Structure 1
Amino acid sequence: MNFQKKTIVYGFGITGQSIISYLLKKNNKLIVIDNKKLSEDQKSFFKNNNIEYSENENEINDLSIIEQCFVSPGVDLRKSFFQECIKKKIPIRNDTFFLNQIDRKKTKLIGITGTNGKTTFCSLLASILSFNDLKSIAVGNIGIPILNILTTQNKFDYIVVELSSYQIEVLDKMTVFDYGVILNIEPDHLDRYDSFIDYKNAKLKLANHSKTILHDKESAVVNDHANAFPIDPKDFHIEEIKTDFFTFKKQNKIYRIDTPYLKGVHNVKNIMYLLKLLEIMNCNISFEKVRNFFRNQKGIPHRFEYLSIDNNYIFINDSKATNLASTKSALNSLNGKIHLLFGGDLKNQPLDGIENFFNEKLISLNLYGKDAVIIKDYLLNKKIKFDMKCFVSLEAILESIKKIVKKDEIILLSPGCASQDMFMNYQDRGNQFVEVCKKIFKCS
């Protein structure tokens, strides 16, 4: 009788569930590890499919029975369990491993990473390609599991994969993207990495898995790559940025792109990166088609998203701003008077210099979450001059803002921190912000 080794799936979120579903069809024997308590339906599913379940990896004493280990994006590979797996040469993989099964003669892969802007960039890239009859989809860290496209009969010209540093860490050596893009690298996830250099190096590894790499010239320097395109935003020659359009100069000609739904300096930068990538890809998409696309393209939920709540004030949901650099970009993109909702879990981000984010545009700084007091104490030591208070909830903040906000002022949720101290994720945080705004400002 042949002994069949088992596969570990570490993490029972959206990605983990897609991996489990796929491996069951391949008759893999599975052990699932997650610290969540199972519902009765989940227990029945595991029992009916002969899946072992553990809330603690240390309960697995015999690694000789393990063939491979699949991890979800947020799992910390510094755990002693994974170090033991590495010692015993047990492959540690994630769902990017299955990209190797795609027919590369028919489909090109594009890998996108960066600290900020990658979700917007991936969504825009897949959408503009599809808009021009090149069937495309954005998957990965953007929220759609990679395995979703392998279990359908759909064929794509391009698959755009949003990659976190965690996913890049365990890319299979056979996984190679036709095009890789590193948008920017700023301090983030310093609760997961021992230093910013370690985090940066994890991002830069995408270049080793890309035939062609487009990268930010300053923050994401790639060395020794045969087909690298360093990008300097100064080379975009932006002439003018207005609320709903911007212009740039190329070969002594001025071009205009209308962006009624994609506001902010950071979105202008995303669009210019996108144009450069399309040029490198030689997609034969005319500038007029680009203009038509952006004229009607909606923004991304929770990413500098303008809300229709009360015409007297401007509401912006930027819950996707999970690090300080992203909040800085949001503030730099606005010209009005701002009431900022800021806070959560800093993830060990250094606060040095954040007082410079908050200039004369800021009317009130409204802090909440796990590290609110740490942020407040730091700023008090810097002798800041604007109104600053700590609150226990978004509702308490918005009740306070309602008493002082004036017509045409901006109410901005751009937390600069992770969300899990108070919310399920950044989407939950953004959704709650929207609902509380509607409730307090009595609009539907």
Structure 2
Amino acid sequence: MSKVESLGRKDSWEGVRAVVAGFGTSGYAAADNLTHLGASVTVLADNATAAQLEKAELLEILGATVHLHAGATDRLPDDVDVVVTSPGFRPDAPLLTQAAERGVPVWGEVELAWRLRDPDHPAPWLCITGTNGKTTTVQMLDSILRAAGLRSVAAGNVGLPLTEAVMDPEPYDVIAVELSSFQLHYVATMAAESAAVLNFAEDHLDWYAGDTGMDDYARDKGRIYQGVERACVYNVADPTTERLVREADVVEGARAIGFTLGVPSVGMVGVVEDLLVDRAFIDQRQSSAAELCAISDLASTAPHFVANALAAAALARAHGISQSAVRDGLRAFRPDGHRIAVVAEHEGVTWVDDSKATNPHAAQSSLAAYDPVVWVAGGLAKGASFDELVQQVGDRLRAVVLIGRDREVIAAALARHAPDVPVIEVTGGETGPVDGADLMRLVVGAAAQAARPGDTVLLAPGCASMDQFTDYAARGDAFAAAVRAAIDEGWTNQG
């Protein structure tokens, strides 16, 4: 057995030689806490921002060794006991392949955090993954838990790094955990109290390459169910999520709980008329359902937003949260920016920013909430296909405005499956960052020409943003600013 396999929060880590690969938020948290525990820590990353260089200086004062330069991750140092890797490192990265060849354990920050929980106050984890909707659902769940009077936090892929959450001197009652497939790839012993896979769709084909890529992606998502104690929550409309539940090795007595936008069967949560209802966690579930909240209580009535609320409610109910706290938490929740955010309504046209829709599945969910739509799309497709999306929503499209390096991928899908839909291409910045204000002024002008009263102009790119913008937030901000500027300048919709 490796010398680190049995170590936990209250053990001495003195003499343990740990390498932390990557120096983002989770990498810094892992390095900081391992140093605090007494381990000898070396941090390796191939680049650094000014803020990261400042954090590196602090870590070095505390005794860590930090190398932040090109080529730093090419070689694993000698005499290493454990590698804690950023989720950005693929398993075939040189540092990790060298660790595997030497038999050195490779953990993610999530696995490290699980091992560092306080044995006297091990706050249960309620975990969520899925191709889309993770952050919104985790934040909904955290809102519900707080409404119930619990000390909760959203952590993991959103909010606090998990090592910071578990090492907090004041223990949390429960932690709402968002996990990406990349994070799940590097877990081994983590076991959630309850867990949910919201959906599964083609994504990250740049990480999950090869003939088995999608199978590997699904397998990593399914790791979230391993060892679940109470409830495995799955999407009734997505057979892959149910299959992952069936394949999971869980604690005896754990239940499979479905969520559906239809009327729920026994053992599910779902929708009856305009109400979210529970038919899983009540004694009379064979003959009745308990009201959780009204759809009108939610910040959005978009179908995927309602589905996220149901998944959050199911995890909360599995933890023993009351119906009233579920209602109060969902009523209080407001999503972060760039998630189906109404920017403006002008002359009968609604302008919506969903820049967070960075893959086709997310864009399809967003498009399904509006009809007719002038769709603004494009960017970095990450190897994804848009054929299924266009087949599903083509009849909703008034027109499409395309931007970004991979816009031709979307244009080709439209030509195959919706050839009558007008397509307007806005060029510029395909090889690097562009003046976002100038680009979006052209986009908004083109969309305004195509839109008619009653339409929605929807920025749901279905692609990543880094070909033209620093991130999806910058893209959404530029879109919203261009819409507001155009309205202020007094233009009218020409459609």
Q: Could you tell me the TM-score, scaled by structure 2's length?
A: 0.79
Change (3 A) 1:289 1:209: closer
Change (3 A) 1:394 1:114: same
The whole-number CA distance in structure 2 between the counterparts of 1:278 and 1:350 is 35
Change (3 A) 1:68 1:428: farther
Change (3 A) 1:74 1:125: same
The code of the aligned residue for 1:426 comes to Y
Q: Secondary structure at the match of 2:482?
A: helix
Q: How does 1:271-420 map to 2 (within 5 A)?
A: 271-283=309-321, 285-286=322-323, 288-308=324-344, 310=346, 312-335=348-371, 337-382=372-417, 384-391=419-426, 392=428, 393-420=439-466
The whole-number CA distance in structure 2 between the counterparts of 1:314 and 1:361 is 15
Deviation at 1:312, TM superposition (A): 4.7
Which residue does 2:307 correspond to in 1? 269
The whole-number CA distance in structure 2 between the counterparts of 1:129 and 1:40 is 33
Deviation at 1:324, TM superposition (A): 1.1
The whole-number CA distance in structure 1 between the counterparts of 2:415 and 2:315 is 44
The code of the aligned residue for 1:219 comes to T
Percent of aligned pairs sharing the same letter: 22
**Structure 2 residue corresponding to 1:88, chosen from 94, 102, 114:** 102
Alignment partner of 1:64 is 2:83: no
| Higher mean C-alpha displacement, 414-423 vs 224-233 | 224-233
The whole-number CA distance in structure 2 between the counterparts of 1:20 and 1:254 is 46
**Structure 1 residue corresponding to 2:235, chosen from 210, 216, 222:** 216
Deviation at 1:290, TM superposition (A): 3.3
The code of the aligned residue for 1:316 comes to V
| Higher mean C-alpha displacement, 213-222 vs 186-195 | 213-222
Change (3 A) 1:24 1:182: same
Q: Could you tell me the TM-score, scaled by structure 1's length?
A: 0.87
1:313-334: per-residue Cα shift (whole Å, max 9, x none)?
A: 3222212212211111111122
Q: Secondary structure at the match of 2:399?
A: strand
Deviation at 1:127, TM superposition (A): 0.7
| Higher mean C-alpha displacement, 314-323 vs 95-104 | 95-104
Which residue does 1:116 correspond to in 2? 132
Q: How does 1:139-154 map to 2 (within 5 A)?
A: 139-150=155-166, 152-154=168-170
Number of aligned residue pairs? 432
The whole-number CA distance in structure 2 between the counterparts of 1:265 and 1:103 is 39
Q: Is the 8 A contact 1:139 1:159 kept in 2?
A: yes
Q: Secondary structure at the match of 2:394?
A: coil
Gaps of 5+ in 1: none
Gaps of 5+ in 2: 1-13, 280-286, 429-438, 490-495
Deviation at 1:131, TM superposition (A): 1.0
1:116-175: per-residue Cα shift (whole Å, max 9, x none)?
A: 1111111011111101211211111124322332454333211111000111111142x2
Q: Secondary structure at the match of 1:327?
A: helix
Which residue does 2:7 correspond to in 1? none
The code of the aligned residue for 1:438 comes to R
RMSD of aligned residue pairs (Cα, Å): 2.9
